[in-house]
């Protein structure tokens, strides 16, 4: 499997300032309908918002695959949520598997003890792409910061196209192993949590479709699936994931930054991996708002 990835690879590590955009004051003061939160896909973004988002959205589709929008932190939570909803809807169609907008908060849970998303804990997430379900993946993951953590909770982003290039040159057998269907544990709310569901939830880490590279990775849920199925993980698979993790954790391959109130992060979920550091909450608690976006056809 040889995939065209040259337009996705970071030739040098992007500076945070290179993908940061300040929400214009003319947009900041606009009244926006609550409908963008309740039924976003039924709403048409205002032309001026479309025009502004189009100025930078191409950089989310291709390299660097990331945009950070800074809104006015002094507006209300509701206004921030509506602004975020309009920008997200301008980028594409929103998915409601967890609700169109899902508050990411520490709920005192432990994802190692029950099948819950890491987003409901305060743990480091490890580098991953969103959605462990075979039948669905978002093109873009959005995050809005309503309240930052007291300490920790930094965002990290790395490039899977670079990892693919590295494995192709240095670990071709491992790359081949990661290009075969692998079982993933089932954690989506409302799903059937049994072994048959896990057997039906197998797909590659590296693959491609008509839009190019498709990287789907969360190591923990791969290993958990094989444990539940009582199946050994082939050494080539373990070696491949070790090589991917080692590549991601090299400082020259990752961006790290802190999201403050009003920051809106949009990450290409097809070829970038994101992570966060462990955190301790403040009062009010650390609250980010996640949305899953698919490019409009």
pLDDT band at 5 (very low <50, low <70, confident <90, very high): very high
Q: Is a pLDDT exceeding 90 seen at residue 122?
A: no
Q: What is the pLDDT of residues 59-103, one digit of tens each?
A: 999 999 999 999 999 999 999 999 999 999 999 999 999 899 999
219 torsion bin: left (phi>0), alpha (psi -120 to 50), beta (else): alpha
Q: What is the pLDDT of residues 225-266, one digit of tens each?
A: 999 999 999 999 999 999 999 999 999 999 999 999 999 999
What is the residue whose two structure tokens read 């990287």? 215
Counting every residue written for the chain, the total comes to 297
Give the tokens for residue 189. 């709310």
pTM of structure: 0.93
Q: Is a pLDDT exceeding 80 seen at residue 192?
A: no
Give the tokens for residue 178. 């990661």
Q: What is the pLDDT of residues 199-234, one digit of tens each?
A: 999 999 999 998 899 999 999 999 999 999 999 999
pLDDT score, position 235 = 95
Domains of the chain: 16-154+257-295 (3.60.130.10), 161-248 (no CATH)
Give the tokens for residue 11. 């030739």
pLDDT score, position 73 = 97
Contact 239, 190 (CB under 8 A): no
Q: Is a pLDDT exceeding 80 seen at residue 118?
A: no
pLDDT score, position 158 = 98
């Amino acid at each position: 499997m040889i995939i065209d990835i040259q337009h996705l690879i970071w030739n040098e590590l992007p500076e945070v300032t290179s993908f940061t955009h300040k929400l214009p004051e003319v947009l900041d003061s606009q009244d926006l309908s609550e409908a963008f939160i309740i039924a976003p896909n039924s709403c048409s973004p205002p032309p001026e918002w479309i025009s502004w988002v189009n100025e930078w959205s191409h950089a989310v589709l291709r390299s660097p695959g990331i945009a950070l929008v800074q809104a006015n932190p002094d507006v209300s939570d509701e206004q921030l949520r509506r602004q975020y909803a309009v920008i997200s809807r301008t980028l594409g169609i929103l998915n409601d598997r967890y609700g169109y907008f899902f508050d990411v908060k520490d709920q005192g849970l432990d994802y190692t003890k029950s099948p819950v998303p890491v987003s409901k804990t305060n743990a480091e997430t490890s580098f991953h792409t969103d959605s462990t379900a075979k039948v669905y993946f978002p093109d873009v993951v959005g995050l809005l910061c309503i309240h930052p953590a007291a300490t920790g909770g930094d965002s990290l982003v790395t490039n899977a196209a670079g990892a693919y290039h590295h494995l192709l040159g240095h670990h071709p057998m491992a790359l081949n192993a990661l290009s075969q269907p692998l079982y993933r544990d089932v954690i989506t709310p409302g799903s059937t949590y049994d072994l048959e569901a896990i057997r039906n939830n197998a797909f590659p880490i590296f693959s491609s479709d008509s839009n190019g590279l498709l990287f789907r990775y969360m190591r923990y849920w791969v290993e958990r699936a094989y444990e539940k199925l009582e199946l050994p993980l082939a050494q080539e698979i373990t070696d491949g994931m070790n090589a991917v993790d080692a590549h991601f954790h090299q400082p020259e391959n990752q961006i790290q930054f802190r999201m403050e109130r009003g920051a809106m992060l949009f990450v290409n979920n097809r070829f970038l991996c994101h992570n966060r550091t462990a955190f301790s909450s403040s009062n009010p608690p650390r609250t980010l708002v996640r949305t899953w976006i698919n490019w409009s056809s």
